[in-house]
Structure 1
Amino acid sequence: MNARQLYVGCAGWTLGREYGSEFETVGSHLERYSRRLDAVEINSSFYRSHRPATYKRWASSVGSDFRFSVKMPKSITHECRLENCFDLLDSFLSECGELGGHLGCLLVQLPPSLVYDTRRTSPFFERLRARFSGHVVIEPRHPTWIEADRLLIEHKIARAAVDPPRMDVDSSPGGWPGLRYWRLHGSPKIYYSDYAQGWLEEKAAQIVSSAIEGSPTWCIFDNTAQGAALGNALLMQRLLNR
């Protein structure tokens, strides 16, 4: 059992050949991935919807302690910009709800141009919370979101720590303290760069401190363009003495 509620994984479950020796050879990529790491972030949901049966099949492919984080569709976050999107939101929640107890978190990544405006965000968060009581993390990318922590805490929504940081405060988790979530995109070249072991050792110390405080804590590697994420996640798992 994952007693510390500390989850390490990647954005997607692609298994690069260079890490083949780390994984069993039998089963689908997800089945093999889930026997070695205990979390994954589903990013494909940002681009297209998935059938409820697909989410149900994914849930049946993993062990009891494995958790999925599901990225909210861009139709909600980028096209509707959190407004006039309640039908889309309801459909998304109905689909990914088929993950059942394996649904660990919803990820709301916002476009860089979306400023913080309570007239827009409050109705959206209220609607979301009326329909979903589980963990939610937001990754805003406009500096005005520095002002949002009070609203995020009110609605029990965490703010992700990201690397490379895009605002003054997002190198550390913020918002509601009941969840801690790191999204590591690769640096200096975002989505590509491999993190050095020394950097990961420092990050692991921060993550352990957060987990000791008792909040569920996630570390997701999104530097997937050339496969660095998987190696970084496996090393982070070892550094955390999993």
Structure 2
Amino acid sequence: MPGIRLGCAGWALNRERQADFASQGTHLQRYARVLNAVEVNSSFYRAHQVKTWARWGEAVASDFRFAVKVPQTITHEQRLRDCEALLDAFLGECTALGKRLGCLLIQLPPSLAYQPVQVAVFFEALRQRFDGQVVIEPRHASWTGAQAQLIRYRVAQVAADPSRFSTDAQPSGWPGLQYWRLHGSPDIYYSAYDHERLQALATRLLQAAAEGIETWCIFDNTAAGAALENALTLQRLLINAIPVDPEVPG
């Protein structure tokens, strides 16, 4: 699936889907043989040692990528203020993934309104330290006014489901990256997506990839195991939709 990163929030393998993954290796190794991306949410709650990040990076193939969630100490406690030392510590750890670090995910608390000056200070600090892909998931409606600043700092805005405000259901911000983050609806974290919804999503992902846009799709409806099933179904839809070049006679 050229240009498309597909995976789940975490690499836990629920019992119902075990048969879809090879039996040898750690859960991460088995997961990474089937899907080509994962979102690390545990980094939001606690720090991981450099050797842990390095071990994860070494456990997967060279074309596998991790999206890494920025710690809540930065987003929820400091609320993007005075974060330089925290950024240094976090990046000093997760960059041990090396080239398998695909992007950073910044998820903001619903109460954090868009403040242009403070956001600029934060993004300046981040960009002084990290030149890779960054996506942000704001949850306050005032962030509809942040588009110019997101583009300036090369930060893509997540397309979230369920939507929290009028414009966050579609990818926005920096146009060089799309990141679909599907939490499950109507029951957040629990509900599975039906075939019609996944078919429409496959079309959108393929269109973006055909335009040369790096495109991610992460299923976060993990509470009852729907994420793996949805990811595998979407993977089949994407593969079946990609045209196969006819063999050239020898």
Please state which band the TM-score falls in when normalised by the shorter chain.
Answer: over 0.9
1:170 aligns with 168
Q: Residues 116-131 of structure 1: matches in 2 within 5 Å?
A: 116-131=114-129
Gaps of 5+ in 2: 241-250
2:15 aligns with 17
Q: Secondary structure at the match of 2:239?
A: coil
Q: Residues 25-104 of structure 1: matches in 2 within 5 Å?
A: 25-104=23-102
Question: TM-score normalized by structure 2?
Answer: 0.95
Determine the C-alpha separation between the residues in 1 that align with 2:43 and 2:4. Answer: 23
Percent identity of equivalent pairs: 56
Deviations 1:137-156 (A, max 9, x none): 00000000000010000000
Matched to 2:174, the amino acid is W
Matched to 2:8, the amino acid is C
Q: Residue 59 of structure 1: CA displacement?
A: 0.2
2:200 aligns with 202
Determine the C-alpha separation between the residues in 2 that align with 1:9 and 1:96. Answer: 19
Deviations 1:109-135 (A, max 9, x none): 000000000121000000100110000
Q: Residue 5 of structure 1: CA displacement?
A: 2.0
Determine the C-alpha separation between the residues in 1 that align with 2:110 and 2:118. Answer: 16
Determine the C-alpha separation between the residues in 1 that align with 2:186 and 2:90. Answer: 34
Q: Secondary structure at the match of 1:241?
A: helix
Q: How many aligned positions are there?
A: 240
Deviations 1:43-85 (A, max 9, x none): 0000000001000000000001000000000000000000011
Q: Residue 20 of structure 1: CA displacement?
A: 1.1
Q: Secondary structure at the match of 1:180?
A: strand
Determine the C-alpha separation between the residues in 2 that align with 1:73 and 1:111. Answer: 12
Deviations 1:13-38 (A, max 9, x none): 00011111111000000000000000
1:113 aligns with 111
Determine the C-alpha separation between the residues in 1 that align with 2:182 and 2:202. Answer: 12
Matched to 1:236, the amino acid is L
Determine the C-alpha separation between the residues in 2 that align with 1:155 and 1:34. Answer: 31
Q: Secondary structure at the match of 1:138?
A: strand
Question: TM-score normalized by structure 1?
Answer: 0.98
Deviations 1:140-197 (A, max 9, x none): 0000000001000000000000111111111110000011100000000001101111
2:243 aligns with none
- Superposition RMSD in Å: 0.8
Determine the C-alpha separation between the residues in 2 that align with 1:195 and 1:30. Answer: 24
